[in-house]
Amino acid sequence: MPVVPKGTHQQVVASLCRENLWGHIKFLHLRQNICLGHSEADNQHAQWLLEIGGGLTMDNNEIIQVFQSMVCANLNALINRIYSGIGNSRAQDNQYFLDCIILCPKNDQVHDINKAILQ
């Protein structure tokens, strides 16, 4: 597969269209989030995730509106919220880091966050 350094979504898709691989790409669509429970709040969250996946929640600038409860003021606030127990003994368990993760679309963002966590 071609690599598009720091490419936008559109640039990556365009590069795939030019490759012989395009005819072999299979698109999978999320229909049900099996990791969530079945409470009303879980169902609403699952519906919201489906709407994001379908591009239904973006405005004209391709910005997704998130719930205020998901917003952090800055990177340190995000790290403190996700890794609030990093100083205790539970953080020695590998499961802690499986339960407490921050996903990023680009590696340079991952590196910046990892550096901030380790400071």
45-103 confidence digits (pLDDT tens): 888 888 888 888 888 888 888 888 888 899 999 888 888 877 776 666 777 777 788 88
Report the chain's C-alpha Rg in angstroms: 18
2: pLDDT confidence band, cut at 50, 70 and 90? low
The rounded percent of the chain whose pLDDT value lies above 70 is 88
Residue type, 119: Q
The pLDDT score that the predictor gives to residue 49 is 83
Q: Is residue 110's pLDDT more than 80?
A: yes
The pLDDT score that the predictor gives to residue 105 is 79
**pTM (2 d.p.):** 0.49
The pLDDT score that the predictor gives to residue 74 is 92
The pLDDT score that the predictor gives to residue 103 is 80
The pLDDT score that the predictor gives to residue 82 is 86
Q: Is residue 34's pLDDT more than 70?
A: no
